[in-house]
């Protein structure tokens, strides 16, 4: 069933004059596809599962977190990575591959695994505390969840540990600690390296360490 787009699945159920309702589609938390992409024709995101409610346009390829679809063909979504929630008609959605080409199912569990010390790989990254300090080797460990989703724990000088959250190959933020909320960040990609800052912490990580590819 995972080889079908949601639109095809709905079409199979409605192909005989629309007499049958489509089966509900699970949210990512329940094992469904993790993210949708808006189909080439674009879509509207509505405030409620009703085409008469306020709506705004979504461009083709826009990524949306999957929060499940009902039997009437409405999918509850949230614009990835930090956008508003709403409802989109199922026919306008396709399962979204991650940066590595994988279509992944189920919730991204990398943060939960990292918090309990369940890692897929360990290695060394370059890191420092403060803008003037030279980068030095620091221990790192990573929990991966496929599709470009991963959480990296870096141990900075003086034993400072921070979790770095990546989705779809992109650095989003760090965990909240006494040092700060983890949202004052900079990030850029330089070839195979991810160069980032979280508050006063700096780190350079290899793409291969984070994602295993």
Q: Are residues 42 and 83 in the same domain?
A: yes
Q: Are residues 116 and 198 in the same domain?
A: yes
Question: Do residues 85 and 76 touch, judged by C-beta distance below 8 A?
Answer: yes
Does the structure show a pLDDT above 50 at 96? yes
Judged by phi (left if over 0) then psi (alpha if -120 to 50, else beta), residue 29 lies in alpha
Q: What pLDDT does 21 receive?
A: 56
CATH code of the domain in which 44 resides: 2.30.30.40
Q: Are residues 43 and 114 in the same domain?
A: no
In a domain, 102, yes or no: no
Residue ending a domain, choose from 95, 121, 151: 95
In a domain, 122, yes or no: yes
Q: Per-residue pLDDT averaged across 184-188, rounded?
A: 97
User: Over pLDDT 70: what percentage of the chain?
Assistant: 90
In a domain, 101, yes or no: no
Q: Are residues 132 and 86 in the same domain?
A: no
In a domain, 172, yes or no: yes
**DSSP calls for 93-114:** EEEPP-TTS---BS---HHHHH
- Against a cut of 0.75, is the pTM above it? yes
Q: Are residues 177 and 117 in the same domain?
A: yes
Confidence of residue 24 (pLDDT cuts 50, 70, 90): confident
Nearest in space to 129 (alpha carbons), one of 175, 197, 209: 197
Q: What pLDDT does 176 receive?
A: 95
What digits encode the pLDDT tens for the residues 34-92?
A: 999 999 999 999 999 999 999 999 999 999 999 999 999 999 999 999 899 999 999 99
What digits encode the pLDDT tens for the residues 135-161?
A: 999 999 999 999 999 999 999 999 999
In a domain, 103, yes or no: no
Q: Are residues 138 and 185 in the same domain?
A: yes
Higher local confidence (pLDDT), 25 or 11:
25
User: Over pLDDT 90: what percentage of the chain?
Assistant: 83
Q: Are residues 207 and 119 in the same domain?
A: yes
**DSSP calls for 136-193:** EEEEEEEEEEETTEEEEEEEEGGGEEEEEEEETTEEEEE--BTTB-S--EEEEEETTE
Does the structure show a pLDDT above 60 at 29? yes
Does the structure show a pLDDT above 80 at 10? no
Q: What pLDDT does 102 receive?
A: 87
The rounded mean pLDDT for the chain is: 90
Q: Are residues 54 and 78 in the same domain?
A: yes
Q: Are residues 138 and 164 in the same domain?
A: yes
In a domain, 186, yes or no: yes
Judged by phi (left if over 0) then psi (alpha if -120 to 50, else beta), residue 36 lies in beta
Nearest in space to 87 (alpha carbons), one of 129, 135, 53, 114: 53
Does the structure show a pLDDT above 60 at 14? no
In a domain, 105, yes or no: no
Backbone CA torsion sign across 28, 147, 127, 132: negative
Number of compact structural domains in the chain: 2
Domain that holds residue 38: 6-95
């Amino acid at each position: 069933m995972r080889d079908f787009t949601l639109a095809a699945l709905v079409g199979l159920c409605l192909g005989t004059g629309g007499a049958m309702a489509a089966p509900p589609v699970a949210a990512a938390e329940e094992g469904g596809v993790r993210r949708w992409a808006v189909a080439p024709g674009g879509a509207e995101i509505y405030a409620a599962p009703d085409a008469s409610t306020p709506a705004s346009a979504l461009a083709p390829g826009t990524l949306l977190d999957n929060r499940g679809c009902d039997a009437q063909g409405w999918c509850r979504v949230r614009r990835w990575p930090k956008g508003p929630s709403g409802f989109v008609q199922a026919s306008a959605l396709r399962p979204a591959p991650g940066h590595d080409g994988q279509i992944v199912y189920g919730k991204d569990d990398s943060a939960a695994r990292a918090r309990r010390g369940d890692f897929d790989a360990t290695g060394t990254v370059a890191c420092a505390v403060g803008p003037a300090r030279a980068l030095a080797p620091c221990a790192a460990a990573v929990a991966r969840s496929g599709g470009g989703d991963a959480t990296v724990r870096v141990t900075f000088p003086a034993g400072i540990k921070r979790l770095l959250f990546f989705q779809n190959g992109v650095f989003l933020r760090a965990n909240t600690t006494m040092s700060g909320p983890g949202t004052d960040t900079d990030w850029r990609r330089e070839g195979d390296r991810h160069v980032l800052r979280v508050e006063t912490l700096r780190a350079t990580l290899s793409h291969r360490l984070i994602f295993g590819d």
